[in-house]
Amino acid sequence: MRNIVILGSTGSIGKNALDIVDRNPDKLKVVGLAAGSNHEELARQVEKYRPTHVTLSDKTRLSTLKSTLSGSSVTVLEDTGFSNALEEISALPDTEVVLNAIVGVAGLRATASALVTGKIVALANKESMVAGGPILNALAEEHGGKIIPVDSEHSAIFQCLQAGKHDEIKRLVLTGSGGPFLDRVNLDDVPVSEALKHPNWNMGPKITIDSATMMNKGLEIIEAAYLFDLPAEKISVVIHPQSIVHSMVEFVDGAIIAQLSKPDMRLPIQNALLYPDRMPLDVCNLDLTEAISLEFRPPDMDKYISLKLAYRALNEGGISPTVLNAANEVAVKAFLDGRIKFTQICEIIRRTMDDLETGDIPDLNDVYRANMWAADVAEDFVYSYA
Ligand code: NDP
Ligand code: MG
C-alpha cells in the first residue's frame, strides 16, 4: 500500500486522482488532502477517504471546515508564524507520493517541501517547475526526491524516453491541440465564455485560458526543458488537433517514439501515482478497429506570441521564466475577471518581461521575490489597460 497526499483535491486533476484511488483501493491510501477554498467538497472527501491530515488555504473557510470536522480524528493543519500548512502536509512522514495539483505558483512551496523530505512528487502543478525548475531539480538531487510528470505531454515524453539514452535525444516534440481559437484569425474581442471552451479537455479555468492563448504550451516548453535537462533548441511544438498523440521524442537516428491514448488525464495521473508500475485503465483505450485520423501542423508563431515569449524566457534563463509565469497568472486572472481583453494577456507578459532585468536565482527565496516583483509590475499594466 502506498500512502499519498493530494494537493488541490477539489479541482479537476484532484478529482481525477481520487477516481484513480477508487480504482486501486489495495494500492493507494490517501493520508493527506489540501485545497484552496472549497470546504464543502473537501469535507466530503475527508468523510470518504479518511486522511490523517487536511488543510485549506482560505483562512475563513478553514474555520468552517474545522467546525465541520470537529470530533473526527483528522488533524486540520493551519499556517502559524512558524509553519506553513501546505509545506507541512507535503512533508508528512510515511508518505511516498505527493500529487501536486494546485493551480499556480501557490504550489511551489509544497513541491519543494515534498522534495526536501525525499518524496516522489507527481507534478501537475507545472507553474512550480516554470517558476523554480533549476532549484527544485537541485533540491531533488540533494535530498533524494523525484519528480514524475503528470502533465500529459511530459508524462508521454517520460514514457518515450525509455527507448533511448539522454545523449541520443535529437528533440522533444510537444503536441498541442491549438485550443478553441486554432482557426480564428481575429482574437481581439473573444469573450471569456468562448475562451473557456476547450475542444478536447475539461480542465480548471486557468489552464483552459492558458490553452486558448497557447501559453499553456509555452509553460510546457519551459517545464520540459527543466524536467528533461534539455536546451530550448531541442524542444519543439506541433499542433495536433485530435489530442491523441500526447507527445513524441525524436532520437538522433531519426526514429520518433510517440505515446497515444484517449485524451483522459487519468492515465498520466495513474502512471505517476503507481510509478513505476502500470495497471489496467479501460477509460483510456483507443479503439484501433475504427478509422482514426491524426493530423500534425506547425504552430503559427506570429499568431501565438506566447510561444515566442516562452522560448525567450528559457533562453534568457535566471528569473525570466519566473517573471513570465507571474505575469501570466496576473493577466489570466484579470481576463477572467473581465478587466482586460484576451489579446492583452500576452501583451502584459511581454511588457513585464521587457521591464524587468534578467538576473540569477540562487535559491527559493529569490524565486518568491522575483514572483512578487513581476506580479506587481504586471498588475500595474492591468490597471493601465482597465
Ligand atoms: P482547478 O482550478 O480545477 O483546481 C485547482 C485546485 O487547486 C483546486 O483544488 C483548488 O482548490 C486548489 N487551490 C487553488 N489555490 C490554492 C491554494 N492557494 N492553496 C491550496 N490549494 C489551492 O485546476 P486544474 O485541476 O485544472 O489544474 C491544476 C494544476 O494542474 C495546474 O497547475 C494545471 O496547469 C495542471 N494541469 C491540469 C490539467 C487538467 O487537465 N486539468 C492538465 C495538465 C496540467 P479550491 O477549488 O478548493 O479553491
Ligand atoms: Mg499539458
Domain membership of residue 99 (yes or no) is yes
pLDDT at 186: 87
- Residue, of 202 and 355, whose pLDDT is higher: 355
Per-residue pLDDT for 55 more than 80?
yes
pLDDT at 41: 98
Q: Are residues 131 and 208 in the same domain?
A: no
Per-residue pLDDT for 201 more than 80?
no
Kindly list the protein residues whose Cβ atom lies closer than 6 A to any atom of ligand 1. 8-14, 34-38, 57, 101-103, 106, 124-127, 151, 201, 203-204, 207, 265
pLDDT at 179: 86
Across 71-94, average pLDDT? 95
Q: pLDDT digits over 240-271, tens only? A: 999 999 999 999 999 999 999 999 999 999 99
Domain membership of residue 291 (yes or no) is no
Domain membership of residue 272 (yes or no) is no
pLDDT at 185: 84
Ligand 2 centroid, distance to 177 Cα (angstroms): 10
* Cell of residue 353, nine digits: 518581461
Q: Are residues 301 and 207 in the same domain?
A: yes
Please state the atom number of ligand 1 nearest to the C-alpha of residue 42.
Answer: 47
Q: pLDDT digits over 291-347, tens only? A: 899 999 999 988 889 999 999 999 999 999 999 999 999 999 999 999 999 999 999
CATH number of the domain that residue 236 is part of: 1.10.1740.10
Q: Indicate the number of domains in the chain.
A: 2
Contact 360, 321 (CB under 8 A): no
Choosing from 102, 125, 126 the residue with most ligand 1 atoms within 8 A of its CB, the one to mutate for a pocket test is 102
Choosing from 45, 103, 203 the residue with most ligand 1 atoms within 8 A of its CB, the one to mutate for a pocket test is 103
Q: pLDDT digits over 168-196, tens only? A: 999 999 999 988 888 888 888 899 999 99
Per-residue pLDDT for 202 more than 90?
no
Ligand 2 centroid, distance to 95 Cα (angstroms): 26
Ligand 2 centroid, distance to 158 Cα (angstroms): 13
Domain coverage including residue 49: 2-149
pLDDT at 342: 96
Domain membership of residue 195 (yes or no) is yes
Q: Are residues 63 and 124 in the same domain?
A: yes
Domain membership of residue 203 (yes or no) is yes
Q: Are residues 92 and 181 in the same domain?
A: no
Per-residue pLDDT for 360 more than 90?
no
pLDDT at 361: 81
Q: Are residues 334 and 224 in the same domain?
A: yes
pLDDT at 295: 96
% of the chain at pLDDT higher than 90 = 89
Q: Are residues 52 and 198 in the same domain?
A: no
Please state the atom number of ligand 1 nearest to the C-alpha of residue 125.
Answer: 32
pTM score above 0.85? yes
Q: Are residues 336 and 381 in the same domain?
A: yes
Q: Are residues 91 and 55 in the same domain?
A: yes
Per-residue pLDDT for 34 more than 80?
yes
Q: Are residues 327 and 242 in the same domain?
A: yes
pLDDT at 155: 98
Closest CA to 267 of 18, 16, 32, 31: 16
Strands 97-100 and 235-239: unpaired
Domain membership of residue 271 (yes or no) is no
The mean of the pLDDT values for the chain is: 95
Q: Are residues 216 and 135 in the same domain?
A: no
pLDDT at 22: 98
Q: Are residues 64 and 193 in the same domain?
A: no
Per-residue pLDDT for 13 more than 80?
yes
Confidence category of residue 199, pLDDT binned at 50, 70, 90: confident
CATH number of the domain that residue 48 is part of: 3.40.50.720
Final residue in a domain of this structure, among 85, 117, 149: 149
Please state the atom number of ligand 1 nearest to the C-alpha of residue 151.
Answer: 43
Domain membership of residue 292 (yes or no) is no
Q: pLDDT digits over 83-142, tens only? A: 999 999 999 999 999 999 999 999 999 999 999 999 999 999 999 999 999 999 999 999
Across 148-167, average pLDDT? 98
Across 3-7, average pLDDT? 98
Closest CA to 107 of 13, 177, 16: 13
Ligand 1 centroid, distance to 160 Cα (angstroms): 26
The 235-239 sheet, strands edge to edge: 235-239, 169-176, 245-251, 256-260
Ligand 2 centroid, distance to 10 Cα (angstroms): 19
Domain membership of residue 281 (yes or no) is no
Q: Are residues 140 and 183 in the same domain?
A: no
